[in-house]
Amino acid sequence: MIDTKTAPYAALLLRVSLGGLLLAHAGLKFFVFTPAGTEKFFASLGLPGWFGLVVMAGETICGLALILGVYARIAAVLMALDLLGAVFLVHIHNGFFFTDTGGGWEYPGFWAVALLVVALLGEGAYALRPTVKAL
């Protein structure tokens, strides 16, 4: 049974923490790997290099959307797809554990599941925009 008194706060905690992680991940691409380095990495995966910039922008916009509770369900689904892409294009060949060389799929896989939980739960408490009903 779900505790309806505390569930909105659980959704808030999950939503804000995942949004913060997305902002940190976008910051890593921008400040450490640099936009040019991110483009090169995406090109090395067989994707258009510019798609790395789209992912950086998506992580930033969706991270803010999650933190603020604005279209958080949509942002969560989009970023779950992003993380599943990371699992299947980058991490799956490195083993399960994220501590494996090259980083296994454990962390991005769990992150994708957590984002899908937000999509199913809704925005929770203190959202700037009420939940989108249809998913």
User: By C-alpha distance, which of 104, 78, 76 is closest to 90?
Assistant: 104
Residue 130 lies in a domain: no
Residue 67, pLDDT score:
98
Report yes or no on 44 lying in a domain.
yes
Residue 17: which pLDDT band, with cuts at 50, 70 and 90? very high
H-helix or E-strand containing 14? helix 7-27
As for how many domains the chain has, the answer is 1
Q: Which domain holds residue 99?
A: 7-121
SS3 of residue 75 by DSSP: helix
The pTM for the full model equals 0.91
Query: Contact 67/15 with Cβ under 8 angstroms?
Result: yes
Nearest to 22 by CA among 51, 57, 54, 52: 57
pLDDT band of residue 3 (cuts 50, 70, 90) is very high
Compute the distance between CA of residue 91 and CA of residue 41 in angstroms, rounded to an integer.
13
| Residue 98 pLDDT | 87
Q: Is residue 1 part of a domain?
A: no
